[in-house]
Amino acid sequence: MITPKPFINARRDTPCPICGKTSWCGFNDEIAVCMRVSSGREVNNGGWLHKLDNVFTSYVPPKTRSNVKRKPDEFIDMVYREFIRILPLSEDHLQSLLERGMAEEEIRRRQYRTTPKDRHADSLGEKFNLYGVPGFFKENGRWKCVAAQGILIPVKNERRQIVGFQIRLDRKADNKKYVWFSSAKMGGSTPGPRIHVAMPQKIKIPDLVWITEGPLKADIAAERLGFPVLGVPGVNCWKSAIEVVKNLNPERAVVAYDSDYHKKQVSIHARALVDELKKHYKTGVALWPEEKGLDDALVAGVSIKVKVV
Ligand SMILES: [Zn+2]
């Protein structure tokens, strides 16, 4: 039997992935019931059923049953830095990052790690109060961390604090390549929609910011472009991205999504992002041959054009 995943309602921070509006519709990471855009498949509440592709589309922050509030960024940064201090990066994971075209020095500097096999977090729990730190939870009186195995990718805010982790899974789960380091299902706080701010080692162009998909791509792109690149967790999180762009205060902004713009759930949000950016900055859209991701295109030296919009 298939248990349907819980639905979340379209709201300001989680707009509908189909129409982009912030009320009335509902969705999870697989399907959406949109009340405004027809799919030809009507459901009994009067809305239409849309299947969401499992590419870069919408990110739905895991809901938490508890009232545990997320700790402030300063505290989370402290805990996460202590957490990764002794974690290694396995040879396999180092190899897979090298194969993406990253340099060893770059990989070290980005602080990628291999998720721990041992889920116990007793010593961390003695040092810090882990309530409200995403990824940790208490079980039978002992602190533990979530168990998904893969590469732990730090998500940093504009103050370079580690405020979350994405995990690149060793084995796809539910057709997903990436998950968030989240204990929301075990009563922890939600990891929230966090925007990764990837800074290159040397900023060559100070007045420009790009926006792309996810933290790892952003890291690879920032290093090769020479300016900050934001990695958004899903196209629907563009409002959070706007806040971060404002804090970085550039003159120009470019949207560089790989995903097929013809897919409705991408294009609505991408367009909304572009429209909002245009109000404040010189804005462009990055274009390159479609078969490659932005990171692969940059590593391969493919020329990327920016169309001013
Ligand atoms: Zn809708």
Token output for 128: 């810090």
Q: Which amino acid is it at 205?
A: I
Identify the CA nearest to 79 among candidates 11, 114, 47, 126.
126
Q: Which amino acid is it at 219?
A: D
Domain boundary residue among 137, 154, 186? 186
Q: What residues make up the domain containing 249?
A: 196-308
Question: In angstroms, what is the span from residue 49 Cα to ligand 1's centroid?
Answer: 10
Question: In angstroms, what is the span from residue 33 Cα to ligand 1's centroid?
Answer: 7
**Do 90 and 164 reside in the same domain of the chain?**
yes
Question: In angstroms, what is the span from residue 192 Cα to ligand 1's centroid?
Answer: 21
Q: How far is it, in rounded angstroms, from Cα 119 to Cα 60?
A: 25
**Torsion over CA: 69, 74, 75, 78 (sign):** positive
Domain membership flag for residue 168: yes
Question: In angstroms, what is the span from residue 255 Cα to ligand 1's centroid?
Answer: 23
Task: Answer left, alpha or beta for residue 296, where phi above 0 means left and psi between -120 and 50 means alpha.
Answer: alpha
**Do 303 and 252 reside in the same domain of the chain?**
yes
Question: In angstroms, what is the span from residue 241 Cα to ligand 1's centroid?
Answer: 21
First to last CA, the chain: 48
Question: In angstroms, what is the span from residue 13 Cα to ligand 1's centroid?
Answer: 14
The CATH code of the domain that includes 137 is 3.90.980.10
Give the model's pLDDT for residue 285: 92
Domain membership flag for residue 61: no
**Do 224 and 303 reside in the same domain of the chain?**
yes
Q: How far is it, in rounded angstroms, from Cα 222 to Cα 230?
A: 9
CA 272 to chain centre: 18
Neighbours of 130 (CB within 10 A): 23
Query: Is residue 112 within 8 Å of residue 91, measured between CB atoms?
Result: no
Question: In angstroms, what is the span from residue 251 Cα to ligand 1's centroid?
Answer: 32
Map tokens 């208490």 to a residue: 138
The CATH code of the domain that includes 296 is 3.40.1360.10
Task: Answer left, alpha or beta for residue 233, where phi above 0 means left and psi between -120 and 50 means alpha.
Answer: alpha
Question: In angstroms, what is the span from residue 260 Cα to ligand 1's centroid?
Answer: 20
Domain membership flag for residue 35: yes
Question: In angstroms, what is the span from residue 201 Cα to ligand 1's centroid?
Answer: 41
Give the model's pLDDT for residue 271: 86
Query: pTM for the whole thing?
Result: 0.83
Give the model's pLDDT for residue 11: 85
CA 247 to chain centre: 18
Split into its structural domains, the chain has a count of: 3
Question: In angstroms, what is the span from residue 50 Cα to ligand 1's centroid?
Answer: 10
Q: Which amino acid is it at 274?
A: V
Within 13 Å of residue 269, how many CA atoms lie on the same side as its CB?
A: 33
Question: In angstroms, what is the span from residue 160 Cα to ligand 1's centroid?
Answer: 35
Domain membership flag for residue 66: no
Question: In angstroms, what is the span from residue 25 Cα to ligand 1's centroid?
Answer: 5
Question: In angstroms, what is the span from residue 309 Cα to ligand 1's centroid?
Answer: 26
Domain membership flag for residue 68: no
- Regions of the chain where pLDDT drops below 50: 1, 54
Question: In angstroms, what is the span from residue 219 Cα to ligand 1's centroid?
Answer: 32
Question: In angstroms, what is the span from residue 204 Cα to ligand 1's centroid?
Answer: 41
Domain membership flag for residue 92: yes
Question: In angstroms, what is the span from residue 14 Cα to ligand 1's centroid?
Answer: 11
**Do 221 and 132 reside in the same domain of the chain?**
no
CA 208 to chain centre: 21
